[in-house]
Structure 1
């Protein structure tokens, strides 16, 4: 992992961070407030975990530079959440032993499902930047998020594919290693596609952790005769499949869940991924002033363009810090504080965590054009 350059001495003024986190002079507790981060820092999902971590870290550094929470600095403690559900639970157990007041994570739905179940009966909040499965929607538990639930994106993407591209017969492939996300997204896409009179040519699942090649998937695509391909795969697997399609002489319009929309997608597939379309509540070219400042500071700090995981990571920490301000930096009452924050002025957009820990944001259709992710609308 590359080392990040020093942080420039400036903060996101438009976010009102100075007002929110200004030092409250006094003789209270000055011990650091420990916050955990749990995400995939190695392996094929690391593009989510590393950028998510850096987004959280940048927000922490901004908060600390402005005086912290009531004069207390935030200490970010990071753990790799592995590849299995047991790994995620174990990573969080380590963070709990470090006396964190909350955990920001996880970055995939399968890990968040396992972690939420393990935290039942505790008062430790789990604030996810990128978990979007609807299986965690509308439930009062330890799980909170700053990203919309994924069914809304699947519906808008199916609408766009049928209405704008006139596709009528889709082949669906998804990764069961992240079933809580990929299966629900694929099912929502299929249901909406059928509602427009479309047909599902075939649905094939893969287990990416045991995947060596795409021959079986390519054979199934040829045999079923689709006019489009929908994928709910990681960025690296989406890029790999796109390359294999090209090498096999299979040319179809490509549609994807937003899980794949990271820099690893374009760098891994190059021109073979041109024209791929996805739906997400994130615009990498947004001119919102808060996002423009964040994007520039992120590039200066880490040397990379931020992806959606980085931006949502920043907002997850932003929301958690606002809740900690209400509790005086304590874990007690933190879950109640998160659902009573009201509208937050995020860097992507304004957002509000509802009583069930969910948020709603309008979907946006994105496509890859000339090697860059851009709005298709």
Structure 2
């Protein structure tokens, strides 16, 4: 009887301990450039994901399971990206948010597809990844959609000869953006007076890049580059052609950071971005206030895109059935409500997003469309 009682007691203790053990966390990974010269982009995405995860965990997690974030830095470098991708594949996260640039997507998507790993990017926009039945989901609009809208707005504002500077180190993004812009601008009756590519990772003389464009006598300059490089190009443009209109692609869409980096040189610059700055809805104001309280600064486009992306993942996970893969869940349980826009994936995991425009006036961004 003693041995029987001891065995029963041990089993009861085991069951009790099992019942008290918290369930395994859901592991979500983030792959972004966090150490390169344009790391403000990756950090902005990371902050949006962190805020969404913290809020979800405070609300009880997903079906009683807390969310654990695994972060890897691709450094905007092919070798680092491949290493980071292999590390994440070995860890088998439920999903990877990222990468954040089209150049890094080119590197890691083949590795992830081979491993069967699902990825979802808040920001990758190149048309190179559109319309493919793979393991890669996109939340942002394509370069083609954004560039066409940019060409139309610039033409409406009186530009007829546009010079374009673009960062060739992220050619899957910048190349497709420049191509779509030029085609639409010329269709409207304008012309691309000149293009000038540069490598952000190299020892670029931005004065030379601007000089090459000015030699073709443009009446506007379009800058397709990161926030930092857009600021530096704008500074050189103001020195060499003070009154020339400037605009930038959505790659530099963090207006507050651009003002901080570019100072008076970006005054008057028009930029493409992915959210309605004039929104007075409760959802937008709650997000904006929560972000500022958590990070002590205003958010940028990339943070909002990342926040929406993380919440899409959570919504699909809450409805996912036992044994159901993330790809099927993401495709099945949409559309998903973002802070401002509804996100709806097509059969290939592609979504789109409305394009907005902001002009920097003095030290403040003002939405114009």
TM-based fold match above 0.5: yes
Greater helix fraction, Structure 1 or Structure 2: 2
What is the deviation of 1:366?
Answer: 1.9
Q: Provide the residue aligned with 1:278 in structure 2.
A: 271
| Cα-to-partner distance string for 1:240-287 (whole Å, 9 max, x where unaligned) | 111112223443111211101113311111121112112233123422
Query: How many corresponding residue pairs?
Result: 350
Aligned ranges for residues 1-377 of structure 1 at < 5 Å? 30-163=23-156, 165-262=157-254, 263-327=256-320, 333-377=325-369
Contact kept, 8 Å, 2:195 with 2:213, in 1: the verdict is: no
Secondary structure of the equivalent of 1:37?
strand
Task: State the structure with bigger RCO (CA 8 A, min sep 6), 1 or 2.
Answer: 1
Greater Cα offset, 115-124 or 316-325: 115-124
Cα separation, 1, equivalents of 2:352 and 2:334: 13
Contact kept, 8 Å, 2:161 with 2:218, in 1: the verdict is: yes
Cα separation, 2, equivalents of 1:131 and 1:222: 30
What is the deviation of 1:194?
Answer: 0.4
Greater Cα offset, 88-97 or 220-229: 88-97
What is the deviation of 1:218?
Answer: 2.8
Cα separation, 2, equivalents of 1:143 and 1:28: 34
Cα separation, 2, equivalents of 1:28 and 1:344: 33
Q: Provide the residue aligned with 2:7 in structure 1.
A: none
Contact kept, 8 Å, 1:38 with 1:106, in 2: the verdict is: yes
Calculate the TM-score normalised by the size of structure 1.
0.88
**Structure 2 unmatched runs, 5+:** 1-18
Cα separation, 1, equivalents of 2:366 and 2:118: 34
Cα separation, 2, equivalents of 1:168 and 1:140: 39
What is the deviation of 1:359?
Answer: 1.0
What is the deviation of 1:78?
Answer: 0.7
Cα separation, 2, equivalents of 1:376 and 1:329: 47
Largest Rg, 1 or 2 = 2
**Structure 1 unmatched runs, 5+:** 1-25
* CA RMSD in angstroms, aligned pairs only: 1.9
Contact kept, 8 Å, 1:70 with 1:328, in 2: the verdict is: no
Contact kept, 8 Å, 1:44 with 1:234, in 2: the verdict is: no
What is the deviation of 1:328?
Answer: 5.4
Calculate the TM-score normalised by the size of structure 2.
0.90
What is the deviation of 1:118?
Answer: 1.5
Q: Provide the residue aligned with 1:7 in structure 2.
A: none
Secondary structure of the equivalent of 2:99?
coil
